[in-house]
Structure 1
Amino acid sequence: MRRGNRALLLRTLYFEQESSRQDLSRLTGLSPATVSNVVADLITDGIVIEAGAVDSDGGRPRTLLRIRESYGYVVGVDVGETRVRLELFDLAMAEQAKAEYALEPGAHEPPAVIEHILAGLGSVLADAGVDESQVLGMGVGAPGIVEQCPELLVHGQTFGWDGVPLGDRLRAGTSIPVFADNGAKTMGQAELWFGAGQGARHVVMTLIGTGVGASVITDGVTYRGASSSAGEWGHTTIAVNGRVCRCGARGCLEAYIGAGALLGRYGGGPAAGDEESALAAMLGDPTARPVLDEAVACLGAGLGDLVNLFNPERVILGGWAGLLIGRALLPEIRAAAGRNALTQPMAQVSIELGRLGPEAVALGAATLVVEDFLLRGDAPHRS
């Protein structure tokens, strides 16, 4: 019970940012005496600090509390198609340092990616002057399916990863606890906590880059399925016997709306692997209109499927390509989704752009660590 009360108070205080003991009692339903006792323990442990006071109606000023940002640090990692990006945050999710390593197209061998992650970990800790003992954990947003077992097995078919024991390989190089999930799911959690998903309980977060994925959030919880493969939206079939996808199947949505697929139909790949610049140029080229019209139609069909299947309050377009396409074509995308969704659920959903940018994968990966810290409510102090 004590651990549960600590976790409840910590989670409430984290999302409220600052609250008085009286407010925490009202928000959690815990008695004032229980709140006072648990808060006293959290202050003694160095997790919570007093942060000033506010006037109360007709009574003594109320002392405000907040989680101490420097109690511990978290690392977020984005393993993407073209780069490995690491960011170090304090507990207020303020960035302290970052590092980035380019990946050659098609060169995603696990040893090279692991080497980049461990090198980046050392780099961000050194740049911020943070000792490894102060880090509560490292979260990784990885490609493909991430099985939530001790080894954190990654099945990234388009990367050529088949059951890569990401957790074990990283733990061989660091004592920091390791967490991992699919990149679309970590982006979805970041948008739910800090971005376009705030205030909603039923959200679908889409990630469109070279690859395509989604995170389905139901009643505030990410849906993972039996083996964590839920959300592989890019590999749902949009056309029977259609175009060949990178996964080897035919007719996948990714083969119609992924950045690589769009650029291939537009007329060749980007120079020096710079897909982002090439896609931006394509969106401004009137001759690309037939390719874009097809992409909008297919994206609308895919979004309509999500609306019909999951009845979300919000569908959020994210990923670097999703944001570029959405900024240029959002009204057309919304209209195409409306043509493919049932009238009643479509009338209740909003289709919006992500607010946190492509870096949201790393931010969301870091929240995996924060979520564990808040749920346990008893993380040992790291001096």
Structure 2
Amino acid sequence: MPDGSRRTVRDLRRGNRSALLRRLYFGGPLTRQELSRETGLSQASVSNVVAELLETGLITEAGSVESDGGRPRILLKTSPEHGHLVGVDVGETRVVVELFDLELTRLAKADLPLGDGGHDVGAVIEHILSGLESVIKESGVDPAEVIGVGVGVPGTVEHGPEAVVHGQTIGWDAVPLEKMLRAGTDLPLFVDNGATALGQAEMWFGAGRGHRNAVIALIGSGVGSCLVIDGTPYRGATGSAGEWGHTTARVGGALCRCGARGCLEAYVGAAALLERYRAAGGTTGHDEEDAVGRLLDDPAMPAAEIRAEIVAYLGAGIADLVNLFNPEKIIIGGWAGLLIGDRMLGRIREAAAQYALRQPFAQASIELCHLGPEAVAVGAATLPLAHLLDSGGAALVERASITT
């Protein structure tokens, strides 16, 4: 019987390309000698792989450094303008589509409100496709240079031959999102949970950089999280891990959008907060972000009581994360999470300390997301980027070999 686990020469070459490409992307510029030392590959292997990657245009020369008595050594780095990435955030009230270069510098953006139809699947698909067309046109980028489109969505993403989304809080039940999008675009698609996408971006470029174990909390209208264990997002058996907002904060408590009672989201999610604020006589208007800002700054007693509940429930929820996962960091992101954290992070830390076990809490830091309130779109763009790095630019290498 053939050994299905045996690696072919092609697999080894792809693995070597991936190792070098990752080193250059996150740590470049580097010389061939430094790449050999840091990856453990022979200098001959490094030279062969570098030649392949230079031919694709994914990496380029970036000057030189003096060597000890010999010829100057050439520095290599990834080429940010060679390919482009698109990140899509299917949010609570809008779809945001952004186009980036390979260094995740934003080149174009489309912000499309969902309107009264809410998360009607057809409307969301139309927004994604029209936003994609808009950012490509605005940037002047050749669609052939777009390496992939990442889509961050609320809910659980089932990764089979094509991504299927289960979004209980927005009324999506086994929505074949990838199949529906493929009817309107030929670009490679990568679909994942928005909090997971945000978490990957924060670990690579933000508050989690340099750490291996962290929880990234996404607090907007709803609440989610990304669990990163030993450097890898943990998805669970079927992709639903990280639904922190639907852990029980109070048995028999307030009704959550998911249909259960007492979920954490029903106490710290923006939609639930504003519902309580309106019931207490607060003025919320139509813009959720402005309304949450007013709630957090309102000196009246009803608003102060709601803020005290936010601190207590969020502190207890964070303590649960500390006790369950023993992370190095807990990173609070999302537009509502950043608004809350800017004003009350110290009080939230104190509340978490009251509920968490002392030793793991002492080892964990709690801080805010570094990538801003629109980090889900950036995170979504890391989905095709991760594929590019993991494959060692396989598609581009194969394309280069065909053209030559």
| Match in the other structure for 2:354 | 339
Equivalences for 1:33-52 in 2 at 5 Å? 33-52=44-63
Contact 2:235 2:242 in 1 (8 A): yes
User: 1:270: how far off?
Assistant: 6.1
Matched residue type, 1:279: V
Q: Secondary structure at the match of 2:119?
A: coil
- Tell me, yes or no, if the aligned pair for 1:82 and 1:105 is still in contact at 8 Å: no
Does 1:279 find its partner at 2:292? yes
Aligned equivalents of 1:299, 1:7: Cα separation in 2: 40
Which among 121, 128, 139 is matched to residue 117 of structure 1? 128
Give 1:297's aligned residue. Answer: 312
The answer as to whether partners of 1:207 and 1:317 remain within 8 angstroms in 2 is yes
The CA deviation at 1:17 is 3.0
Deviation per residue, 1:2-26 (Å, 9 max, x gap): 1111111111111113111111111
2:253 to 225, 231, 242: 242
SS for the counterpart of 1:117 is helix
- Counterpart of 1:333, as a letter, is I
The answer for the alignment partner of 2:91 in structure 1 is: 80
1:274 maps to a residue whose letter is D
Give the counterpart of 2:38 among 27, 35, 43. Answer: 27
Q: Which amino acid aligns with 2:299?
A: P
For residues 355 and 57 of structure 1, the distance between their equivalents in structure 2, rounded to whole angstroms, comes to: 40
- The letter of the residue matching 1:139 is G
SS of residue paired to 2:81: helix
Task: Quote the Cα distance in structure 2 between the aligned partners of 1:100 and 1:271.
Answer: 22
Q: Which amino acid aligns with 1:256?
A: Y
Q: CA deviation at 1:101?
A: 0.2
**Structure 2 unmatched ranges of 5 or more:** 1-11
Cα shift at 1:45: 2.2
- Give the Cα separation in 2 of the matches to 1:60 and 1:328: 56
Q: Kindly indicate whether the alpha-carbon contact (under 8 Å) linking 1:299 and 1:333 is maintained by their aligned counterparts in 2.
A: yes
Q: Go from structure 1 to structure 2 and tell me whether the alpha carbon gap of 1:48 and 1:5 turns closer, same or farther (over 3 Å shift).
A: same
The normalised TM-score by structure 1 is 0.97
Residue deviations 1:156-206 (CA, integer Å, cap 9, x gap): 111100011110011110000100111111111111011000011001000
Counterpart secondary structure, 1:294 = helix
Aligned counterparts of 1:365 and 1:373: Cα–Cα separation in 2: 14
Name the residue aligned to 1:372.
387
Partner of 2:105: 94
SS at match of 1:120: helix
* Equivalent pair of 1:255/1:261 in contact (CA under 8 Å): yes
Q: Check conservation: 1:150, 1:167, Cα contact below 8 A.
A: no
Instruction: Describe the superposition over 1:306-326 as per-residue Cα deviations: whole angstroms up to 9, x where unpaired.
Output: 000000000000000000000
2:255 alignment partner, SS class: coil
Given that 1:216 and 1:222 are in contact with CA atoms closer than 8 Å, whether structure 2 keeps it comes out as: yes
Is the counterpart of residue 348 in structure 1 residue 359 in structure 2? no
Amino acid at match of 2:106: E
Determine helix, strand or coil for the equivalent of 2:115: coil
For 1:26 and 1:217, the matched residues in 2 are separated by 28
Paired residues for 1:52-201 under 5 Å: 52-104=63-115, 107-201=118-212
Contact 1:253 1:302 in 2 (8 A): yes
Residue in 1 that maps onto 2:376 = 361
Q: Does 1:329 align with 2:344?
A: yes
Note the C-alpha offset of 1:70.
Answer: 2.2
Q: Which residue of 1 aligns with 2:265?
A: 254
- Residues 145 and 294 of structure 1, relative CA distance in 2, 3 Å threshold: same
Structure 1: any 5+ residue segments left out of the alignment?
none
Aligned residues: 383
What's the offset of the Cα at 1:145?
0.5
SS of the counterpart of 2:395? Answer: coil
Once structures 1 and 2 are overlaid, which stretch shifts more, 96-105 or 322-331?
A: 96-105
The 2-side partners of 1:73 and 1:305 are apart by 39
One-letter code of the match for 1:236? Answer: T
Is residue 226 of structure 2 the alignment partner of residue 215 of structure 1? Answer: yes
Identity of aligned residues (%): 60
* SS of equivalent to 1:71: coil
Once the two structures are overlaid, the 10-residue window that deviates more, 51-60 or 353-362, is: 51-60
Q: Which residue of 1 aligns with 2:3?
A: none
Whether contact under 8 Å (1:263, 1:270) holds in the other structure is no
Question: Quick one: distance in 2 between partners of 1:174 and 1:70?
Answer: 22
Structure 1: distance between partners of 2:31 and 2:283? 55
Q: In 2, are the aligned partners of 1:85 and 1:362 still within 8 Å (CA)?
A: yes
Query: Contact 1:69/1:90 (CA < 8 Å) preserved in 2?
Result: yes
Give 3-state SS (helix, strand or coil) of 1:226's partner: coil
State the distance in 2 between where 1:43 and 1:278 align: 51
Correspondence for 1:16: 27
Secondary structure (helix, strand or coil) at the match of 1:81 reads coil
Aligned position for 2:324: 309
- CA distance in 2: counterparts of 1:199 and 1:44, whole angstroms: 31
Q: What is the distance in 2 between the residues matched to 1:328 and 1:250? A: 28
1:304–1:341 CA contact under 8 A, matched in 2? yes
Q: What displacement does 1:57 show?
A: 4.2
In structure 2, give the amino acid aligned to 1:182. Answer: N
2 CA distance for matches of 1:372 and 1:270? 46
- The question of 1:2 aligning with 2:21 is answered no
- After alignment, is 45-54 or 71-80 more displaced? 45-54
